Chain A
């Protein structure tokens, strides 16, 4: 099956700093999503981005499908950005298809 690697595994920032999270995947994909899991465990959809660039406020994401990676940018980080960021990808196959998650990046933003 498809492999998903996220880096870095852990990231500690001071409030106001910028950061870039990376997601590498091992094969072409039909779907790529970024999620934020907040400290209460809730999964929040950030981006549905199988290719191209999207922006939503202080967050933006870019997926370069041909090179099999995606980047999530967080600018002017806030303490509420803390939590785990997951990348998940899907490749349609004749045997079925499923969203495969990476192991996440644990982000801590200190005041």
Chain B
């Protein structure tokens, strides 16, 4: 049981480039989430998917898009990266909605120059 996996672990982009962060879980969870963590701060929710086929904005959605590809996979896309998106990105999942315990992946460290 790998839990929540994320790829890549590290990425460096130039301003204006695009990329997709991948997330997968093997716990048969219905809900999945994307967070960002800036230095010295807690995590902030970007987007979440309460169930397959649904996505909703979180606290900081601007500049991002998401796709819930199937029950296992939830991807985060940066269409035109900006230096303000330099951060560590975490994916998480839970059995059902946010009321249930969330389990986190190892994170992706993204630098935009």
Residues 1-58 (chain A) with a chain B CB within 8 angstroms: 4, 30-31, 33, 35, 41-43, 45, 48
Q: Is the CB of A101 within 8 A of B42?
A: yes
Q: Is the CB of B56 within 8 A of A104?
A: no
Interface status of A86 (Cβ within 8 A of chain B): yes
Chain A interface helix/strand/loop/mixed: strand
Q: Is the CB of A98 within 8 A of B42?
A: no
> When A86-B42, A102-B42, A104-B42 are in contact, do A97 and B101 touch as well, CB less than 8 Å?
no
Contact of A88 among B42, B88, B99 (CB under 8 A): B42
Interface status of B53 (Cβ within 8 A of chain A): no
- Interchain CA distance A108-B64 in the complex, whole Å: 35
Interface status of A92 (Cβ within 8 A of chain B): yes
Interface status of A71 (Cβ within 8 A of chain B): no
Q: Is the CB of A90 within 8 A of B41?
A: no
Chain A nearest CB from B35 CB (Å) reads 8
Q: Is the CB of B98 within 8 A of A97?
A: yes
Interface status of B97 (Cβ within 8 A of chain A): yes
- Interchain CA distance A104-B38 in the complex, whole Å: 12
Q: Is the CB of B101 within 8 A of A48?
A: yes
Closest chain B residue, CB of each to CB of A50: B99
- Interchain CA distance A98-B104 in the complex, whole Å: 15
Q: Is the CB of B107 within 8 A of A92?
A: no
Q: Using Cβ atoms and an 8 Å threshold, which residues of chain B touch A101? A: 42-44
Chain B window 88-100, contacts with chain A (Cβ cutoff 8 Å), 1 for yes, 0 for no = 1010000001111
- Interchain CA distance A91-B87 in the complex, whole Å: 26
Interface status of A96 (Cβ within 8 A of chain B): yes
Q: Is the CB of B99 within 8 A of A98?
A: no
List residues of B whose CB falls within 8 A of some A CB: 33, 40-45, 48, 56, 58-59, 88, 90, 97-104, 106-107, 109
A/B interface sample: 19 pairs, CB < 8 A: A4-B42, A30-B99, A31-B101, A41-B88, A41-B106, A41-B109, A42-B107, A43-B107, A45-B103, A86-B42, A88-B43, A97-B99, A98-B45, A98-B98, A99-B43, A101-B42, A101-B43, A101-B44, A104-B41
